[in-house]
Amino acid sequence: MAAIMGWIMVGLVVGLLAKLLIPGRDPGGLVATVLIGVAGALLAGYLGQALHLYQPGQATGWVAAVMGAVLLLGVYRLVMTRRS
């Protein structure tokens, strides 16, 4: 449970960082961007550790979390812009 809470906290920071890396307007605003960052961090953290790519606390986890958040944010933008 503590690991999940840690990834959520990391996700908040990573969501904001992903927003800075992918400038422009998001269809859902800042709240949606941060939530997507949390989802990306959780996904990347879980998959990376499940595949034994890194251990908890390694810097690679931060990089994976940012990549996951940027990827999910990009997909979110594609889906939402096609709907409107």
Each residue's pLDDT tens digit, 5-63: 777 777 788 878 887 887 777 767 777 877 887 888 778 878 888 888 887 777 777 88
d(CA 34, CA 36): 5
pLDDT value, residue 69: 85
Encoded tokens for 63: 């990089």
Full-model pTM: 0.75
Q: Where are the beta strands (DSSP E) in the chain?
A: none
Token pair, residue 44, equals: 């990347």
pLDDT value of position 57: 74
Residue pair 67/33 in contact (Cβ under 8 Å)? The answer is no
Q: What is the pLDDT of residue 84?
A: 63
